[in-house]
Amino acid sequence: MKKFLSLCIAAGLVLLVSSCSKEIVERTDNTPALNPARPDLNAGTWKPVLLTGPAEFPVAAPLATSNPDYIAQINEIKSWQADLTTAEKRLVKYWSAGAVLRWNEIMRELVAKHNLPPYQNSDGTYPIPNANNPLAYPLFPFSNPPYAARAYAYVSAAQYDALVAAWYYKKLYNRPAPYKVDTTLKVMVPKTDLPSYPSEDAVVAGAAVETLKLLFPGDQEYIQQKAEEQKRAKIISGACVRSDIEAGEALGKAVAQKFVTRARNDRAGAAVGSQPMWTQLETTAQGKGETPWYSLEFPRRPPMLPVFGKVRGFLIDSLGVIALRPGPPPSTGSEQMKKDAAEVREMAKNFSREHQRMVDVWADGVGTYTPAGHWNAIAAEDFIQQNYSEVRWARNMALLNMSQMDAAIVCWDIKYFYFNPRPSQMDPVVKTLTGVPNFPAYVSGHATFSRAAATILGHIIPARAAQYETWAQEAGMSRFFAGIHYRTDCEGGLQVGKNVGNFAVQRALTDGAE
């Protein structure tokens, strides 16, 4: 009796102690301040994505550091620092981890927030989000995987081009950081020999704000608030003066405008298609003697972005996209298809908890930052370890995200060229461990995105290449384990992804950064 009670009390105490740690530390909460191993001073010569050259957008020569106006700006820093609040210190810590990193995280957050398929109308049709009325339901955008991949690419590529220009002007004007001018100035971030005009942080913020205005027009308040906090944090920290910030922000915005103009004309606006086009996809497949894909949702939802394959990519032109199409999947009436379907059925029946774990880890479905976002998270957490300069961070993110956007284009082209059904359509017995995506099966998007990402990231950080490859295989095959893809879809997607990733590697080899 006594023994039992003491046992209970002991168990209670253990639980009490172990349970009190409800606070969660997230993976990048305590990322140290960015302290680049190499400043990449020659990055002004790297090949931009859209700019004709680093000086396409002019940046005026800065004030001399002896100018009273400049001295007033140093005093602004000092007066901020004289009376710092906890919130301000937290902002400095947050933003010192890196501008590209933090904007990448913000972007992923926006994607996850908006990755929700609209609820149906009362007549069984579906409303389409409207960019001109983003705050009315259905909220704009529905950031599904192709939309998200494109968004990541535009923001990242704009940041990269803007930083190439910024590095060019940094070297040209060579205005030192304020703490080099006034050695009494306290500085809350690692010191660097990199000239501070124009501010790389403000360049990244300006490019992000301008591109995100187009991509997430309903979240302007949040985005602007982040940009304001970042600029304030940089001044407070002593990293740069206000005129560094102002010149950087203007440059970032100007460069981003070029990307926004391109985005408005890259055919993504027409990717939704129309009813006659959706019908034609069906009749085309039937004309080939195939069972056409149809939506497994109730009410039947129109296929996701059937014309996304026609969007203008960054790495691969429209003929290149067609050239990357693999041969057809097994005909829906063939013996091979029956065998493939039986394999999925068997898988769905006999899955293990480990299969389920892989499905969950890589599902990246509704309400998440999508597969491209998952690979951004993987990349970001590895880039932190590499101590890249901001411009190299941006270059590597741009390479990754251009590969992801082009993977979406190539994959969506293939999906709608073949328009073949999901396993659960061919065999309703097949139940799935995650939601069935509302578009054709062949080839797997997850496999394509993941292998493309693993290929370019493995080039960027060769020491991690084997790990990326393992993850890509796992991500790709998880869709078969989930019962939403045939093995052929996954293997096909992995191959196409490799081909797409190689385009990014080719660019990496020739952009002057290696």
Partner 1 sequence: MNRSLQKTGKALCTLCALLLLHASYAQSDADAIMMNKKQLCNGFSYDHASWDHYWEGTRKRNNENLGTVTNQSIMYMGAYGITDKLNITATLPYIWTKASAGTLHPLNGLQDGSLFIKWIPVSHKFGEHKLRLFAMGGISTPLSNYAVDFLPMSIGLGSTNLTARGMVDYNWNRFTVTGAASFIWRSNVTLDKDAYYDTQAHLTNEVKMPHATQYQLRTGYRGKYLIAEALLTRQTTLGGFDITRNNSPFPSNRFNSTNIGLYLKYTLKPFTNLSLQGGGNYTVAGRNVGQTKAFNLGVFYAFYTGKK
Backbone angles phi, psi at 240, to 5 degrees: -160, 165
Minimum distance from residue 434 beta carbon to partner 1 (Å)? 8
Nearer to partner 1 (CB atom), residue 137 or residue 269: 137
Handedness of CA 25, 29, 35, 39 (dihedral sign): positive
450 binds partner 1 (CB under 8 A): no
The alpha carbon of residue 196 and the mean position of all alpha carbons in its chain are separated, in whole angstroms, by 28
One-letter identity of residue 67: N
Select from 360, 382, 474, 508 the one that contacts partner 1 (CB under 8 A): 360
Tokens of 233: 């944090």
353 binds partner 1 (CB under 8 A): yes
Establish how many alpha carbons lie within 13 A of residue 459's alpha carbon, considering only the half-sphere containing its beta carbon: 23
Interacting span for partner 1 (CB under 8 A) from 58-66, 104-112, 224-232, 258-266? 104-112
Distance CA 248, CA 242 (A): 10
Burial of 312: CB neighbours in 10 Å, binned 0-12, 13-18, 19+: middle
Nearer to partner 1 (CB atom), residue 186 or residue 357: 357
Minimum distance from residue 303 beta carbon to partner 1 (Å)? 16
Nearer to partner 1 (CB atom), residue 33 or residue 116: 116
Cβ contacts of 185 within 8 Å, gap of 6 or more: 74, 77, 78, 178, 179, 238
Q: Which of 377, 379, 402, 413 is nearest to 496 (CA)?
A: 413
- Outline where 36-195 has alpha helix (H): 68-82, 86-96, 99-114, 145-173, 178-181
Cβ contacts of 157 within 8 Å, gap of 6 or more: 49, 50, 259, 314, 398, 401, 402
Select from 33, 41, 366, 461 the one that contacts partner 1 (CB under 8 A): 366
Q: Which of 61, 276, 50, 323 is nearest to 175 (CA)?
A: 61
Minimum distance from residue 40 beta carbon to partner 1 (Å)? 27
Nearer to partner 1 (CB atom), residue 432 or residue 448: 432
Burial of 12: CB neighbours in 10 Å, binned 0-12, 13-18, 19+: exposed
444 binds partner 1 (CB under 8 A): no
467-486 residues in contact with partner 1 (CB under 8 A) are 483
Minimum distance from residue 278 beta carbon to partner 1 (Å)? 20
Tokens of 230: 């970042």
Q: In a 3-state reduction of DSSP, which class is residue 331? A: coil
Minimum distance from residue 124 beta carbon to partner 1 (Å)? 10
109, 365 Cβ separation under 8 angstroms: no
Interacting span for partner 1 (CB under 8 A) from 199-207, 242-250, 428-436, 496-504? 428-436
368 binds partner 1 (CB under 8 A): yes
Interacting span for partner 1 (CB under 8 A) from 48-56, 73-81, 297-305, 391-399? 297-305
Minimum distance from residue 404 beta carbon to partner 1 (Å)? 17
8 binds partner 1 (CB under 8 A): yes
Neighbours of 271 (CB within 10 A): 20
Interacting span for partner 1 (CB under 8 A) from 16-24, 55-63, 246-254, 401-409? 16-24
Minimum distance from residue 97 beta carbon to partner 1 (Å)? 12
Distance CA 423, CA 427 (A): 6
Site string for partner 1, 305-344 (x = CB under 8 A): ----------------------------------------
**CA distance between the termini of the chain:** 73
Select from 108, 150, 415, 485 the one that contacts partner 1 (CB under 8 A): 108
Minimum distance from residue 30 beta carbon to partner 1 (Å)? 12
Nearer to partner 1 (CB atom), residue 175 or residue 301: 301
Q: Which of 426, 290, 438 is nearest to 345 (CA)?
A: 426
Cα 15 to Cα 2, 5, 19, 213, 248, distances in angstroms: 20, 15, 6, 48, 53
Select from 97, 296, 304, 443 the one that contacts partner 1 (CB under 8 A): 296
38 binds partner 1 (CB under 8 A): no
Nearer to partner 1 (CB atom), residue 198 or residue 437: 437
Interacting span for partner 1 (CB under 8 A) from 84-92, 302-310, 312-320, 352-360? 352-360
Site string for partner 1, 132-151 (x = CB under 8 A): -----x--------------
Distance CA 493, CA 454 (A): 13
DSSP letter, residue 389:
-
Select from 90, 186, 339, 357 the one that contacts partner 1 (CB under 8 A): 357
90 binds partner 1 (CB under 8 A): no
Burial of 397: CB neighbours in 10 Å, binned 0-12, 13-18, 19+: buried
Nearer to partner 1 (CB atom), residue 30 or residue 86: 30
Tokens of 176: 């030192």
Interacting span for partner 1 (CB under 8 A) from 20-28, 253-261, 281-289, 397-405? 20-28
Handedness of CA 11, 15, 18, 20 (dihedral sign): negative
- List residues binding partner 1 (CB under 8 A): 1-2, 5-6, 8-9, 11-13, 15-16, 19-20, 22, 24-28, 105, 108-109, 112-113, 116-119, 137, 296-299, 348, 353, 356-357, 360-361, 363-364, 366-369, 374, 377, 424, 430-436, 483
